[in-house]
């Protein structure tokens, strides 16, 4: 494994700063998890620290080279490791009798779909390292440049905290941008609505357009105008001017009129 070259295609940047690993583990420990699922254990830097918490553990690694490294060096056992794509895994299968915490240093290319997979599962907490810009989009306020469809989707379902910024020198190979440790917790009493996400994509399709114009391919403009009026919203409103709660209420009002009750 001395000749191992990280895959740019897979977005591999391994955490080498022990202080970042230690702070990540302290945060995870403070959340009192009953079990852990790590996405992308890589060469095991964070994994070794997680195992010291003495909790049931399972890792999901896409790169067969790294999976072999973890097994050959006895960092993980075969029972503790799935070789495959985390985006295609049922996250609920690994610990059916408890609700584990999800964690990992996540490549930018899979950050959004992995969060979507987390939302669709029974898991409640997700500690992830992601690109700084992506983290900023998750917490962007209303009417800001980074306020987006996916950010609204996450803010409606999740309590989101940006824990600490991580300098790019904490990784090897060094990425071009800084990262951030994020904590995502599902909001109690908020049911997962997958179709809300697709509705939001249409709402934010062209940011400069009025909401009515973005949605007119789905619904008659007169209906949209009437529903907006019922919710005390101007016909000239744009998606980025509405809070996640306002957008969800609008979605619920329009849902019966969408095809098959969906967007």
Residue numbering of the annotated binding site: 13, 15, 40, 61, 85, 105
Give the Cα separation of 90 and 58 in Å (integer): 13
Instruction: Please enumerate, by residue number, every residue annotated as part of a binding site for S-adenosyl-L-methionine.
Output: 13, 15, 40, 61, 85, 105
CA distance 106 to 109: 8
Q: Which helix (H) or strand (E) holds 105?
A: strand 101-105
CB 228 within 8 A of CB 253: no
Q: With residue 117 as reference, give the H or E element that holds it.
A: helix 108-120
Contacts of 148 (CB under 8 A, 6+ apart): 137, 140, 204
């Amino acid at each position: 494994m001395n000749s191992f070259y990280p895959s740019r295609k897979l977005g591999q940047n391994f955490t080498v700063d022990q202080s970042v690993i230690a702070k990540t583990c302290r945060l995870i420990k403070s959340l009192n998890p009953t079990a852990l699922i790590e996405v992308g254990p890589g060469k095991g830097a964070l994994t070794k620290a997680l195992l010291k918490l003495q909790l049931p553990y399972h890792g999901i690694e896409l790169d067969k080279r790294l999976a072999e490294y973890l097994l050959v060096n006895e960092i993980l056992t075969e029972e503790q490791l799935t070789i495959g794509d985390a985006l295609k895994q049922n996250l609920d299968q690994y610990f059916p009798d408890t609700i584990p915490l999800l964690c990992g240093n996540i490549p930018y290319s899979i950050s959004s779909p992995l969060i979507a997979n987390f939302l669709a599962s029974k898991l409640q907490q997700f500690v992830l390292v992601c690109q700084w810009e992506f983290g900023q989009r998750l917490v962007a306020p209303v009417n800001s440049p980074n306020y987006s469809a996916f950010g609204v989707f996450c803010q409606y379902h999740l309590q989101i905290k940006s824990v600490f910024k991580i300098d790019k020198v904490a990784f090897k190979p060094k990425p071009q941008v800084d990262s951030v440790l994020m904590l995502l917790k599902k909001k109690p009493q908020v049911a997962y609505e997958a179709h809300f996400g697709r509705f939001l994509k249409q709402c934010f399709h062209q940011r400069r357009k009025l909401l009515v114009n973005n949605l007119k391919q789905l619904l008659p403009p007169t209906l949209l105008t009437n529903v907006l009026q019922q919710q005390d919203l101007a016909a000239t409103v744009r998606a980025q001017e509405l809070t996640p709660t306002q957008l969800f209420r609008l979605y619920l009002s329009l849902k019966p009129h969408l095809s098959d009750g969906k967007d």
